[in-house]
Every structure is written in structure tokens, then in C-alpha cells.
């Protein structure tokens, strides 16, 4: 992607948010046609090819330290966990829940930053985290009566998918903090994507998988998501380097709303008011955590810690 500046770079950053917001719906749709593992493997293969081509000049200059390799492991585990969580959801509605659980990562990123990067924060970061967690619980509850027993029943119904979704949020929060300290200004993401694709293909070959139902629609979805993911990472990087950081950082915290809306349309779902209440609580909690750290430190510190992904 050619270098952009000013308003064009900001638009590129906003485009990245829009593209990332399509991921939950597309991941679920592709998984239904090609299988959770096979679909994800194909997506990351296409993205890897695009990223390697677009970064072909910079990749030979990368110096892979053990810290960068550790960050790469976190990246690979996160991407696989999220893709499989959405793919293994029992229903399309549950896939939406997995997507919202993933959006606990902004608040967790800021929480971990208190210890990993000595980030300063105001006291109301704790209510912010509780608000985001309450939003996830509300998403899982929907419009039904809630009780701890009901929550445990839902979790027990698909423990692997829920475990992967919660684990993904924690892992990405760790990744955001650690790569801030370990990257040394390098961009190893193309290599991380290649590693993710490789691990998924190994899993696909070693374990029984459902058959792939390759159709014209599934192929188009696959190509769009594979290419758009690569474009989103490149566009986001342009936005961070040369765009309006304040606008991009604020907009990124509203991604759960856009993601849930697009996924609902794409998957033909009509979530109830309880679901949307939960989504807005997740956003409110994340924003409260952001404000808690923004008042205690410079804005640039926050952006570099929490804006690596949608």
C-alpha cells in the first residue's frame, strides 16, 4: 500500500475498522461451508500471501529474537482460538456471542498494561472492566431470565468454544502489551500470519475434519476475507503512523457495535434488545477503561498499547 498522509491515512484507518468488523459474520459463514479448521486455514493462507507480497522488501531485514518468537506464538494462538471459537459455536447466534466475548480484550489490555508496561490509571478502570464483563454476560443472556445456573449451563453446553473465546481475549491483551516492548519498531505480522496458516493446515491434516463444500458464494467470501484482512492490517498501520490518532482510537472502541450489526445482517439474525444492551455495555466499559488510562498518561502511549487489532 502506498504511503498515505493526513486525512487519507485517517480514512485508511477507518477502512481497517470497517473491514475487521466483517470478520465475525464471514468467519462463521466460511466455517459452515469449509469447516472451522479448513476455512480458517484457507483464510490465513490467502492473507499470508497478500502480506508477504506487500512486505517483500521489509521481511528480509527482520531480526527474529526469542522475544519476537514468543510474541509470534501468542499471535498464532490468538488467531486460531478466535477462528475456531466462532467456527465451533453451536449456532449462528452463539457465534455472535463469541465475537462479543473477544471484545473484552481492550479492557484487559489496559489492565495488563498496569503491570507489564507500568501504565498509570485512575480508579475507575475497575468499574470499566466490570461493566465490559457485565456486557458479555448480558450478551450471553439475551432476552431470557438470567441466573448463575443458567450461565453455567450455557458454558457447559459448548465449553470448548467459550473457553477459546475467553482465552483469545486474554491472549490478545497480553500480545498487545508485550509486542509494544519487544517489537523494536519491526513488523513481523506477515510471518505470524504464515505461522498461523501452517499450524492450521497441520491440524487439518492430523485430525478428522468435516468435508469442504466449495461453492461460488463460499469462494467469494473466502477471497474477500483473506484479502480484506491483509488490507486491513496495512491500512491500520498507515492510519496509526500518519492519520488522526484520536479519531482512530475512539472509533476502534465502537467496533463491537459495527461488528455485531454486520454479522447480524450477514447471517440473517435478529438479536433481541438484551443482546444489544450487552454490546453497548461492552463498548461503554472499554471506553471507561480508556478514559481511566488517558487521564493518567499520554494519548500516544495508549494507542500503541491497545490499537494493534480491531
Segment 128-170, tens digit of pLDDT: 889 998 898 888 877 666 567 777 777 888 999 999 999 999 9
Residue 289 confidence class, pLDDT cut points 50, 70, 90: confident
Q: How many domains does the chain have?
A: 1
Q: Return the number of other C-beta atoms located less than 10 Å from residue 193's C-beta.
A: 27
> Does residue 308 belong to any structural domain of this protein?
no
Q: DSSP 3-state assignment of 274?
A: helix
- Find how far residue 21's CA is from the centre of its chain: 9
Q: Which of 173, 184, 291, 299 is nearest to 245 (CA)?
A: 299
Is-contact 193 55, C-beta < 8 A? no
Asked whether the beta carbons of 119 and 294 are under 8 A apart, the reply is no
What is the C-alpha separation between 84 and 93, in angstroms, rounded? 15
Of the listed ranges 76-90, 97-111, 112-126, 265-279, the least confidently predicted one is: 112-126
Average pLDDT, the chain: 85
Judge whether 194 lies within some domain.
Answer: yes
Cα 13 to Cα 164: distance, rounded to the nearest angstrom: 28
What are the phi and psi torsion angles at 177 (to 5°)?
A: -75, -45
59 part of a folded domain: yes
Percent of the chain exceeding pLDDT 90 equals: 48
Q: Are 173 and 108 in contact (CB under 8 A)?
A: yes
d(CA 72, CA 89): 26
In a domain, 310, yes or no: no
User: Do the domain assignments include residue 98?
Assistant: yes
- Residues of the domain holding 296: 6-301
Residue 309 in domain = no
pLDDT of 302 strictly over 50: no
Q: Do 100 and 165 touch, CB atoms closer than 8 A? A: no
* Residue 306 is assigned to a structural domain of this protein: no
Q: Return d(Cα 229, Cα 46) in angstroms, integer.
A: 9
Query: Average pLDDT, stretch 287-298?
Result: 73
Please tell me the distance from the alpha carbon of residue 175 to that of residue 181, in angstroms, as a whole number.
Answer: 10
pLDDT in tens, 167-207: 999 999 898 888 767 766 677 889 999 999 999 999 999 99
pTM for this structure? 0.86
**How open is the CA angle 150-156-160, to the nearest 5 degrees?**
140
Nearest-angstrom CA–CA distance, 198 and 251: 33
* Cα atoms in the 13 Å half-sphere on the side-chain side of 132: 29
Amino acid at each position: 500500500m502506498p504511503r498515505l498522509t493526513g486525512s487519507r491515512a485517517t480514512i485508511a484507518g477507518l477502512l481497517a475498522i470497517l473491514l475487521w468488523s466483517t470478520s465475525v459474520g464471514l468467519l462463521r459463514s466460511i466455517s459452515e461451508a469449509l469447516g472451522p479448521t479448513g476455512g480458517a486455514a484457507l483464510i490465513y493462507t490467502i492473507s499470508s500471501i497478500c502480506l508477504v507480497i506487500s512486505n517483500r522488501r521489509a521481511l528480509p531485514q527482520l531480526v527474529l529474537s526469542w522475544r519476537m518468537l514468543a510474541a509470534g506464538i501468542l499471535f498464532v494462538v490468538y488467531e486460531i482460538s478466535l477462528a475456531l471459537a466462532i467456527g465451533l459455536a453451536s449456532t449462528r447466534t452463539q457465534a455472535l456471542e463469541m465475537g462479543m466475548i473477544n471484545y473484552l480484550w481492550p479492557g484487559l489490555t489496559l489492565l495488563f498494561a498496569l503491570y507489564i508496561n507500568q501504565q498509570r490509571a485512575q480508579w475507575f478502570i475497575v468499574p470499566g472492566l466490570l461493566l465490559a464483563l457485565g456486557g458479555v454476560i448480558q450478551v450471553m443472556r439475551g432476552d431470557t431470565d438470567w441466573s448463575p445456573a443458567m450461565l453455567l449451563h450455557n458454558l457447559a453446553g459448548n465449553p470448548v468454544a467459550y473457553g477459546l473465546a475467553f482465552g483469545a481475549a486474554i491472549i490478545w491483551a497480553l500480545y498487545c502489551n508485550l509486542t509494544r516492548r519487544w517489537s523494536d519498531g519491526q513488523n513481523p505480522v506477515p510471518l505470524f500470519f504464515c505461522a498461523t496458516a501452517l499450524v492450521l493446515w497441520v491440524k487439518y491434516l492430523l485430525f478428522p475434519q468435516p468435508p469442504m463444500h466449495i461453492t461460488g458464494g463460499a469462494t467469494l467470501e473466502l477471497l474477500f476475507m483473506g484479502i480484506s484482512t491483509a488490507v486491513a492490517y496495512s491500512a491500520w498501520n498507515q492510519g496509526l503512523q500518519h492519520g488522526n490518532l484520536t479519531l482512530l482510537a475512539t472509533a476502534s472502541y465502537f467496533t463491537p457495535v459495527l461488528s455485531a450489526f454486520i454479522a447480524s445482517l450477514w447471517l440473517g439474525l435478529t438479536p433481541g434488545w438484551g443482546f444489544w444492551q450487552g454490546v453497548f455495555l461492552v463498548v461503554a466499559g472499554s471506553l471507561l477503561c480508556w478514559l481511566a488510562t488517558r487521564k493518567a498518561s499520554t494519548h500516544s502511549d495508549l494507542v500503541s498499547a491497545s490499537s494493534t487489532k480491531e
